[in-house]
Amino acid sequence: MSAWQLIVFVMMPVPLSLCILVSAPLPRRASEKCCELVDSIVGFHLYGTPVVKVFIGFAFILFAIMSGEMYKPKHTISDPRDANQELNMRAKRWRNERNFWISSFVLALWIMLYVTYKLRKRVIALEKKTDSEVGKKSK
């Protein structure tokens, strides 16, 4: 498995599916269970650092590398009449642009997952607090 296959088949679908789980409009119990599931995945720690922050850092580094690749000066064609050289340069440029957009999407997905996860945890905690306060007042 190449590096870009790993990025496309692992680093993209994982935050996308987890973000859908966290932000789906579900009943309270189902929403809490989904948040617990995401918490078990996102809350996993690698050497004291949450795994989501590790992936955000990796995605940011990838984005920075692809930004640099994208804005490198163009190479000159040694023989302007050779169509193969021109097509090679265009294909390389197209791949760099594609990889840039993939890396920016992956970075946005991981950041979006982290933010929505934190917000959902906060909403669930506030709902529990409100329910307990309402329960105390009604007694």
pLDDT tens digit sequence for 64-118 = 988 888 777 776 666 666 777 778 888 888 888 888 888 899 999 999 999 998 9
What's the sign of the alpha-carbon dihedral 78, 83, 88, 90? positive
In degrees rounded to 5, what are phi and psi of residue 114? Answer: -60, -45
* Band of residue 12 on the pLDDT scale cut at 50, 70, 90: confident
What's the sign of the alpha-carbon dihedral 112, 114, 117, 120? negative
Share of the chain above pLDDT 90, in %: 10
